[in-house]
Amino acid sequence: MHTSTLSELARALEAGETTSEALTRETLERIRAHDGRYNSFITVAEERALEQARAADQARTEGRAGPLTGIPFAHKDIFCTEDLLTTCGSRMLENFAPPYNSTVAQKLDDAGAVCVGKANMDEFAMGSSNETSYFGPVTNPWGDGLVPGGSSGGSAAAVAARLVPAATATDTGGSIRQPAALCGLTGLKPTYGRISRYGIIAFASSLDQAGTLTRDARDAALMLNTMAGFDPKDSTSLDREVPDYCASLDNDLSGLRIGLPKEYFSDELSPEMAEQVRNAVREYENLGATVKEISLPHSHLAVAAYYVIAPAEASANLSRFDGVRYGHRCENPQDLNDLYLRSRSEGFGEEVKRRILVGTYALSAGFFDAYYLKAQKVRRLIQQDFTDAFNEVDLIMGPTSPSPAFAQGDKTDDPINMYLEDVFTIASNLAGLPAMSIPGGMVNNLPVGLQIIGNYFDEARMLNAAHRFQQVTDWHQQVAPNGV
């Protein structure tokens, strides 16, 4: 069963060909047997999962089953799950079992989905290679020694290795799409405000958005149907109707206007990558879409603006980790400041500390205008670029990442180079736009991601475009050689 997609499993459950308990047992077994190779899980919730599975089977016999009932999946370890360890990839939260559920976890619970465990991730979602996790790096099933991307590297590796059919993830600057690209998956980051952030451990509040890592667009639509929606507990959640994202998957693409930003095909992108992306876009022309070059003139400033805004917000968001109410507390603090200084220095890893310092600096007296306010102005320019572009086109397409999966250790000593992994993905977070990555080609036998950026709340159109592409291509069906 493990080669099946989420929707195939849902059909099998519906048809009575299997049970959730059987699926869940198989899933847990495979994780036990194989995850040593990927390190994609921080916590496996065997008992809890089996309980949920049995409840799901019960619900099905009582006629209360929905499309996700009984489906095993993984949560990125950034989603608070009640009484289940939620570490955010950090020593700081090594022993933290939240006394509450995130809204996403609650919705998936309520839908009867079975959380088999918590996926590894870059510490506090800060990283693009899953090498900053306190619980060790994650290996990409596409090759030993290769990174899966980050920060949702555990979620991506687990799906790519066929350990689970789907995983939740979050995307602050590309943390869903870049791992999707590097692991050959479909990764969806919806519009900011589409999915509640309540109970998701915050990195950068104005950029964070939850989403999915799945095998294909149909599965993403199924997950989004359950995860999306207004939440009164999140002030930035939008009170807007959630359409059935599955209903429009098969819509005809003729007349669809696609824009290719010329800035996304510049020096950062190797000619081989560019060729794969252009080939993928050609498929869309075959499907009836029209393609034109567009310009997003402020694209080159996105990374710079992001590395002011995200660390600034993070520096405040991470102040609550002070060793008092939860989380790591140093031994025998001498005084209050000693408690703060040592608990935080011991609890946070190097990259997290670095970003806290950058953010604190950008907000400090004398630098606030030049960094923080300036970055916010540039953010508006970047958003304006998209607004202009969407007057001319329906979807924007381009590469997701500058290169396919790279070797572990390659960029760990060069933060700037690591940051540039997200050069194509960051802008949509700054603007709050929905974006996804789907498998669009191969370079050196490694997957290449095609990024699709939509207008606000246009997830249905993006999923439709992704699905139609996946009906005529098989990039998404390529199996990682080290998968199981």
Partner 1 sequence: MQWETVIGLEVHVQLATQSKIFSGASTAFGAEPNAQASAVDLAMPGMLPVLNEGAVRMAVQFGLAVNANIAHRSVFDRKNYFYADLPKGYQISQMYHPIVGKGEVSVNLSDGSERTIGIEHAHLEEDAGKSLHEDFQGQSGIDLNRAGTPLLEIVSEPDMRSAEEAAAYLRKIHAIVTYLGISDGDMSQGSMRCDCNVSVRPKGQTEFGTRSEIKNVNSFRFVEKAINTEVERQIELIEDGGEVQQETRLYDADRDETRSMRTKEFANDYRYFPDPDLLPVEIDDTYINAIRDGLPELPDAKQARFVTEYGLNADEAAPLVQSQALADYFEQVARGSGDARQAANWIMGELARLMNQNEVEIQDCPVNAGDLATLILRVQDGTISGKLAKQVFEALWNGEGSPDDIIEQQGLKQVSDSGEIEALVDQVLADNQAMVDDYLSEEVAKKQKKKFNALVGQVMKASQGKANPAQVNDILQQKLTSSD
Partner 2 sequence: MSISRDKIEQVAWLARIRLEDSEKEALEGKLSDILGMVDQLQASDTDGITPMAHPLDATQRLRPDEVTETNKRERFQAVAPETQDGLYLVPRVVE
Q: How far is the CB of 459 from partner 1 (least distance, A)?
A: 21
Contacted entry of partner 1, partner 2, none for residue 380, CB cut-off 5 to 8 Å set by kind: partner 2
Using the minimum distance from each CB to partner 2, give the nearer residue, 96 or 469: 96
Q: 265 vs 326, which CB is nearer to partner 1?
A: 326
Q: Which of 50, 353, 389, 443 binds partner 2 (CB under 8 A)?
A: 353
Judged by CB under 8 A, the residue of 360, 412, 473, 478 near partner 2 is 360
Instruction: Catalytic residue, from 7, 129, 133, 175: name it.
Output: 175
Residues making contact with partner 1 (CB under 8 A)? 80, 86, 88, 93, 96, 98-100, 102, 197-202, 204-206, 232-236, 312-313, 315-316, 318-320, 322, 324-326, 336-337, 340, 360, 363-365, 368, 372
Catalytic residue at 175?
yes
Query: Which residue, 142 or 306, has its beta carbon nearer to partner 2?
Result: 306
Contact positions with partner 2 (CB under 8 A) in 431-460: 431-433, 456
CA angle, corner 112, sides to 106 and 118, nearest 5? 60
Site membership for partner 2, residue 307 (CB under 8 A): yes
| CB-nearer residue toward partner 2: 275 or 322 | 322
Strands 290-294, 209-214: pairing kind = unpaired
Asked whether position 305 contacts partner 2 by CB under 8 A, the answer is: yes
Quick one: what does residue 274 bind among partner 1, partner 2, none, with the CB cut-off 5 to 8 Å set by partner type?
Answer: none
Q: Is 128 a catalytic residue?
A: no
* Among the listed residues 11, 32, 282, 300, the single contact to partner 2 using CB under 8 A: 300
Q: Which among 70-78, 133-141, 172-180, 332-340 is the span making contact with partner 2, rule CB under 8 A?
A: 332-340
Give, as ranges, the residues between 250 and 289 that touch partner 2 (CB under 8 A): none
Min dist CB 94 to partner 2, Å, is 12
Among 27, 315, 317, 401, binds partner 2 (CB under 8 A): 315
Residue of 129, 206, 225, 482 that binds partner 2 (CB under 8 A): 206
Closest distance between partner 2 and the C-beta of residue 236, in Å?
A: 7
Catalytic residue numbers?
Answer: 76, 151, 175
